[in-house]
Amino acid sequence: MISSRSLSSYPFPLFFEEWELEKTRVSEAWDNKGDIVIGNDVWIGYEAVILAGVTIGDGAVIGARAVVTKDVAPYTVVGGVPARSIKKRFSDGTIQRLLELRWWDWPKERIRENLEAIQRGWVWKL
C-alpha cells in the first residue's frame, strides 16, 4: 500500500528502491514544473502523456501516445514523441470566432440547439 503522502497517476508504478526515495517523502522529492492546464473542448488520445507545466488550448486534439512537452495552441492537432503540430482544425478566422463565442459556457439547451454547427465549426450559424 502506498501512503497518502505519495503521488501517483494510474497506471504508474512507483519504484522507491530504484529511485532511492522514501515513501514518506515522495511529494517533497517530486520535481514539479507546474500545473497542467487543459482547455475546453479538448480531445486527448489513448495513453497520451502531458508533462507538468503544459497548457493545452481550447479545442486542441492530442494524438494517441503523444508526449506533449510544450504548450498546444487552441484548435491545433498534435501528435508524436515529442508532440508536434500536425495541423489546425479550422482557419485562423474560425478559430478566433470560436474562442470569442466560448460556446462551452452556454446553457445546455443552447448547445443542443446549435450542436451541428459547433461540431462542424460553422461559426456563421452561431
**Mean pLDDT across the stretch 58-69?**
95
Residue 16 sits at φ, ψ, to 5 deg, of -60, -40
pLDDT confidence band for 26 (50 / 70 / 90): low
Q: Are residues 79 and 43 in the same domain?
A: yes
pLDDT confidence band for 19 (50 / 70 / 90): low
**CB burial string 18-57: b at 16+ within 10 A, e below:** eeebeeeebeeeeeeeeeeebbebbebeeebbbeeebbbb
Q: Are residues 42 and 64 in the same domain?
A: yes
Q: Are residues 13 and 42 in the same domain?
A: no
By mean pLDDT, which of 1-10, 44-53, 88-97 is the weakest?
Answer: 1-10
Q: Are residues 50 and 22 in the same domain?
A: no
Q: Are residues 77 and 112 in the same domain?
A: no
Q: Which domain holds residue 23?
A: 1-30
Q: Are residues 63 and 25 in the same domain?
A: no
Could you identify the residue written with the cell 514518506? 24
Domains in the chain, number: 3
